Amino acid sequence: MKLGSGNGNGLIKVRNLDKKYMRGSEEIHVLQGLNLDVDEGDFVAFMGPSGSGKTTLLNLLGGLDVPSAGSITVAGDEITRLSGSRLTAWRARHVGFIFQMYNLIPVLTAFRNVELPLLLTGLGKAERRKHVETVLGVVGLGDRQQHYPRQLSGGQQQRVAIARAIVADATFLLCDEPTGDLDRKSADEILNLIDLLVRDHGKTVLMVTHDPRAAERAQQVLHLEKGVLVEGAPSAVRA
């Protein structure tokens, strides 16, 4: 099975991806022989019931976890062959993560939270400031730079998280339930922002969601069921 837009400029290529782990003496097969192609500028949503392997897939694509078998190639780099430290460096360069619970550092201001990925680069202070101010402007929080997470609404915190994800110009963004903790209005604002990043900034986005309204925004919706990827509605399995 090969899913994804696959229109020729394949940014992400997943082949025969397997992920198993042990729970006590029981072997859990989370992902089974998964294939996927995602092109640059795609916005792909993954849906599926809890335990279907959505977050595991995202973790594997982001280099946070290693597969039991198969390969993942991103922009020509087979990340499943990279060592731990090289994978970390690769992640810093290529991946922007957006989590359901925002995962901001509570003791840092919005500015400092967004600046974090840039601390790993060779950019000077002035350059870092310029980058951070730019992306905070993009997410509409130019006037909230010195606010701490506790002083921001959920939607604003998620915007800060998005700014952090894009500040180092990541190759693609991985969003794990980005609207899962937000009210409808804030969720729509976040989705509009993600739309904007795809449409106007050419970002590639892979999003895990339970929310059909969020999934509607994606160019393609893929369903995971018991570790197997299917396109469209859960029943529309293609061989």
Binding site for other proteins (CB under 8 A): 59, 62, 64-65, 84-85, 88-89, 91-93, 97, 99, 101, 103, 105-108, 112, 116-117, 119-120, 125, 128, 164, 168
Cβ proximity to other proteins, 89 vs 237, nearer residue: 89
Least Cβ distance, residue 96 to other proteins (angstroms): 8
Question: Treating both helix axes as pointing N-terminal to C-terminal, what angle do 184-201 and 154-166 enclose, rounded to 10 degrees?
Answer: 20
Residue 180 in contact with residue 211, Cβ under 8 Å?
A: yes
**Considering the complex, what minimum distance in angstroms separates the CB of residue 210 from other proteins?**
17
Output the smallest distance, CB 95 to other proteins, in A: 8
Integer Cα distance of 126 and 161 in angstroms: 21
Helices (H) and strands (E) in the chain, counts: 7, 10
Q: Are strands 172-176 and 95-98 parallel, antiparallel or unpaired?
A: parallel
Nearest to 206 by CA among 33, 4, 50: 4
Of 76 and 84, nearer to other proteins (C-beta) is: 84
Residue 163 or 221: the one with the smaller Cβ distance to other proteins is 163
**Whose Cβ is closer to other proteins: residue 59's or residue 204's?**
59
Between 43 and 90, name the residue whose CB sits nearer to other proteins: 90
Q: How far is the CB of 120 from other proteins (least distance, A)?
A: 5
Neighbours of 130 (CB within 10 A): 12
- Closest to 72 in 3D by CA, of 7, 19, 8, 5: 19
* Nearest distance, CB of residue 133 and other proteins, angstroms: 16
